[in-house]
Amino acid sequence: MATTQRLHPDAPSLALFNRELSWLDLNARVLDLAADPNEPLLERVKFCSIFSSNFDEFFMVRVAGLLDQVISGLAVRSQDGRSPQQALEEIRDGALDLTQRQSRLWREELCPALAAEGILVGSVEDATAAERTELESVFAREIYPVLTPLAVGPGQPFPYISGLSLSLGVIVRDPESAEERFARVKVPEGLDRFVGVGSRGLLIPLESVIGHFLPTLFPEMEFVEQVVFRLTRDGDTEISDDADDLLEAVESELAKRRFGAVVRLEVSSAVSGAMLARLQERLGVGNTATYPIWSLLDLADAGQLYALDRGDLKYDPWVPYTQRRLASPTDEDVFAEIAQKDIIVQHPYDSFATSVESFVRAAARDPHVATLKTTVYRTSHDSALAPALMVAAENGKQSVCVVELKARFDERRNIEWARSLEQSGVHVVYGFPDMKIHAKTTLVVRRDGDALRRYVHIGTGNYHATTARIYEDVGLFTADPDIVADVADLFNFVTGFGRPQRFRKILVAPFNLRKRLVEHIREVAEAAEAGKTARIRIKVNNLTDPDIVEELYRASQAGAEVDLIIRAICTLVPGVPGLSENIRVRSVLGRFLEHSRLFCFEVEDEKTFLLGSADLMQRNLDHRIEVVVPVEDVQARNELESIFKALLADNAHAWELNADGSWERTKPKKGERRRAAQAVFMRRRDRARRLARSH
């Protein structure tokens, strides 16, 4: 279903869509996938879960930020011309529409489809007598012991309610005195959201089970009303630019986050006016921050259903491919291959374990390696990165890890990683209070005969073993003397004290990345103006930087063809005559999260390919350490070319942005076969695998 975002009448001369409303459009596309009967059923359930998780973060960060502006009285309009209050009003309209669509989808399509497959999601009322007996036993044994009813009355203040926790609000009456009290029962977070009972596997939401057995928590009381509700609190952190101890400052902000202001109250749509008024008064929430929900609250927990052992209702399992050049029997062979020629990997089609993780493991073990340096923005408990750094330190190598403590919602995990690394002898650096280190780089220094040689991996995604199986990212392994020298200089800047010198090849924010990208765009525009064939292709997650948008408009006006693959937020307005008529914007979603950042600037037969960590946003170009690297090897360039071609030809999981702000899903034309880019990438690896076996 297409959504439409209109340009604001007070917009400045530069035509831009609103960033927050563009984010809502992204989630409309995710909901489209959840509603698509061509997708496997449990994958649709997962998309429904992703939609809810995305909404939580949106309210915790973006909506919270706008509310802060309103409260502080800031009258500054956003780049698209909206005041914070105007943006909030439009966000509410869009969010209400999307949550209603999700509720209908869950009730009317997904639950009946699951039931048809023998996966019954219901209520206690749907249980048979035998199932209710079993449920009573489960409640007494596993649920009741961890419940704490909190009544409100004399000496019993209204309880603190943490963000994103599910609660039952109950009005309880004493039949003898007729006294009524409000009580809150928190739905325990450590238990499964769906309680399974009976041979048919009936799945009952945990809050429904608790609601049924409330008399065990409030003996001999009458129940006037019960309702399910949930809060979202401001989840952003603010670190002072002059913080002396960054670790201490981040820990302090994490403690404050628990008590952030309420930015959203979700409540069951059946709530009475009296109960809603009581909740709003106690929580300090108005109608504009209240969202009635017409189905289960917090459908992010529907991910529990995806974990069911029903492979027939999911995508076929994908086994990542190990590139022939990386299938080396010894650590020395890995470095020899990189020294000989650059290597491009695209995850999850190419194995993260046998490429990036093998690279760092080889560096940790190889007696000829002297130094291993890397950056951590987000990582996982099962990542080989931290163990490799620890092994390297134990083996007497210089082992350095730059840990970004301010990676939103991963701060606590990164603090734990940093302390573990320090205890193992790894040199840990925390970066800068005023600038996140978002670059994805690993540097290895190895002795080769009488000389030291450096090897580098530069990627578009985090060193995260779990997300590497579901995020699409691209990485470059190279021993190019200029690139490795640049990366070495960058590490010295981050860990030391001084101003970075001129980089030879890599583009680094906030130093030269913006300038170089603008130069590339202008070179293409000038060539188009001179009558040459000129084209720009860019693949990023988000495009919001107004200066880059303006440069792309100028390139279009000069006659350059511009193809943009923007997964999430896009403020550029395509297809406007005289402004952007040569610009096409598409978004590709699917089984894997498109996450790589790729660039191609083309003049006649000359092409400049780049890949790196930076999206085209002001924060990335001006307020973060980002690395973008040129790709110069012919075979590596061909790999990037094939990625662009497949994504631009996708007619199965692509949406195109119109000048009126509507997104339309592409469909195969009459007589045209269905082409899904992600399926193309998997088929290519399967062919390579079969070819390797035949030899």
pLDDT tens, position by position, 211-228: 999 999 999 999 999 999
Radius of gyration of the chain (CA): 27
135 shares its domain with 265: yes
- How high is the pLDDT of residue 452? 94
Label residue 252 by pLDDT band (50, 70, 90). low
Q: For residues 384 and 595, give the distance between their C-alpha atoms in angstroms, rounded to a whole number.
A: 21
Label residue 196 by pLDDT band (50, 70, 90). very high
Per the structure, how many domains does the chain have?
A: 4
Contact status, residue 266 vs residue 98, Cβ threshold 8 Å = no
What is the mean predicted confidence (pLDDT) over 444-473? 93
User: Could you read off the pLDDT of 572-625 as tens digits, one per residue?
Assistant: 999 999 999 999 999 999 999 999 999 999 999 999 999 999 999 999 999 999
Contact status, residue 643 vs residue 598, Cβ threshold 8 Å = yes
What is the mean predicted confidence (pLDDT) over 499-514? 92
Q: For residues 539 and 76, give the distance between their C-alpha atoms in angstroms, rounded to a whole number.
A: 31
Asked if residue 133 belongs to a domain, the reply is yes
- How high is the pLDDT of residue 215? 96
Q: For residues 410 and 401, give the distance between their C-alpha atoms in angstroms, rounded to a whole number.
A: 16
CA max distance for the chain: 92
- How high is the pLDDT of residue 484? 97
What dihedral do alpha carbons 619, 620, 622, 625 form, nearest 10°?
Answer: 120
Least confident of 200-204, 226-230, 275-279, 373-377: 373-377
Beta-carbon contacts of residue 203 (< 8 Å; ≥ 6 apart): 119, 120, 121, 122, 194, 195, 196, 305
Which tokens is 523 given? Answer: 């070179």
User: Could you read off the pLDDT of 626-658 as tens digits, one per residue?
Assistant: 999 999 999 999 999 999 999 999 999 999 999
Q: Is it true that the peptide bond before 145 is cis, omega within 30 degrees of 0?
A: no
- How high is the pLDDT of residue 424? 77
546 shares its domain with 402: no
Asked if residue 616 belongs to a domain, the reply is yes
The answer on pLDDT for 420 being more than 50 is: yes
Q: For residues 347 and 351, give the distance between their C-alpha atoms in angstroms, rounded to a whole number.
A: 6
Question: Model pTM?
Answer: 0.92
Contact status, residue 375 vs residue 437, Cβ threshold 8 Å = yes
User: Could you read off the pLDDT of 280-331 as tens digits, one per residue?
Assistant: 999 999 999 999 999 999 999 999 999 999 999 999 999 999 999 998 777 7
Residue 188's φ and ψ, nearest 5 degrees, are -55, 135
Q: Is 347 a catalytic residue?
A: no
* Of 368, 375, 366, 596, nearest in space to 473 by CA: 596
161 shares its domain with 277: yes
Residue 661's φ and ψ, nearest 5 degrees, are 95, -5
Helices (H), 39-83: 41-58, 64-72
Which tokens is 603 given? Answer: 């003049």
The answer on pLDDT for 198 being more than 60 is: yes
- How high is the pLDDT of residue 380? 62
446 shares its domain with 552: no
Beta-carbon contacts of residue 531 (< 8 Å; ≥ 6 apart): none
Asked if residue 307 belongs to a domain, the reply is no
Which tokens is 528 given? Answer: 């188009």
Which tokens is 334 given? Answer: 């890995």
Residue 653's φ and ψ, nearest 5 degrees, are -125, 35
Q: Percent of the chain beyond pLDDT 70? A: 92
User: Could you read off the pLDDT of 83-108 as tens digits, one per residue?
Assistant: 999 999 999 999 999 999 999 999 99
Helices (H), 397-545: 411-423, 481-495, 513-529
330 shares its domain with 223: no
**Inter-CA distances, 305 with 205, 212, 301, 316, 527, Å:** 11, 22, 8, 17, 54
* Of 572, 442, 562, nearest in space to 16 by CA: 572
The answer on pLDDT for 673 being more than 60 is: yes
**Average per-residue pLDDT in the chain?**
91
**Inter-CA distances, 7 with 18, 58, 81, 618, Å:** 8, 21, 9, 21
333 shares its domain with 479: yes
Task: Say which CATH number the domain at 41 has.
Answer: 1.20.58.310
CA torsion through residues 121, 122, 128, 130, sign: positive
What is the mean predicted confidence (pLDDT) over 15-33? 96
Instruction: Say how far residue 141 (Cα) sits from the centre of its chain.
Output: 37
Label residue 249 by pLDDT band (50, 70, 90). very low
Better-predicted residue by pLDDT, 249 or 484:
484
* Of 474, 461, 448, nearest in space to 340 by CA: 448
The answer on pLDDT for 241 being more than 60 is: no
What is the mean predicted confidence (pLDDT) over 7-17? 70
Residue 604: is it exposed, middle or buried by C-beta count within 10 angstroms (0-12/13-18/19+)?
exposed
Token pair 């002795």 is found at 447
Asked if residue 189 belongs to a domain, the reply is yes
Q: For residues 575 and 80, give the distance between their C-alpha atoms in angstroms, rounded to a whole number.
A: 17
165 shares its domain with 91: no
- How high is the pLDDT of residue 240? 43
Q: For residues 442 and 488, give the distance between their C-alpha atoms in angstroms, rounded to a whole number.
A: 10
251 shares its domain with 381: no
The answer on pLDDT for 243 being more than 50 is: no
1 shares its domain with 69: yes
106 shares its domain with 130: no
The answer on pLDDT for 464 being more than 90 is: no
130 shares its domain with 108: no
383 shares its domain with 498: yes
Residue 584: is it exposed, middle or buried by C-beta count within 10 angstroms (0-12/13-18/19+)?
middle
Of 460, 476, 502, the position where a domain reaches its end is: 502
- How high is the pLDDT of residue 310? 96
Choose, from 8, 212, 347, 438, the residue flagged as catalytic: 438
Task: Say which CATH number the domain at 434 has.
Answer: 3.30.870.10
Of 502, 521, 551, the position where a domain reaches its end is: 502
Asked if residue 306 belongs to a domain, the reply is no
Residue 655: is it exposed, middle or buried by C-beta count within 10 angstroms (0-12/13-18/19+)?
buried
Q: For residues 538 and 550, give the distance between their C-alpha atoms in angstroms, rounded to a whole number.
A: 15
Task: Say which CATH number the domain at 161 has.
Answer: 3.30.1840.10
Of 269, 285, 301, the position where a domain reaches its end is: 285
Q: What region, left, alpha or beta, does residue 405 occupy, with left being phi > 0 and alpha being psi -120 to 50 degrees?
A: alpha
* Of 637, 551, 566, 636, nearest in space to 597 by CA: 566
Asked if residue 255 belongs to a domain, the reply is yes
- How high is the pLDDT of residue 531? 97
What is the mean predicted confidence (pLDDT) over 521-530? 98
Which tokens is 77 given? Answer: 């309009």
The answer on pLDDT for 514 being more than 80 is: yes
Beta-strand runs (E) in 520-605: 534-540, 561-566, 583-588, 593-594, 597-603
Q: Give the Cβ contact number of residue 418 at 10 Å.
A: 22
Asked if residue 304 belongs to a domain, the reply is no
Asked if residue 295 belongs to a domain, the reply is no
The answer on pLDDT for 163 being more than 60 is: yes
Expressed as residue numbers, the domain containing 83 is 1-117
Q: Give the Cβ contact number of residue 363 at 10 Å.
A: 30
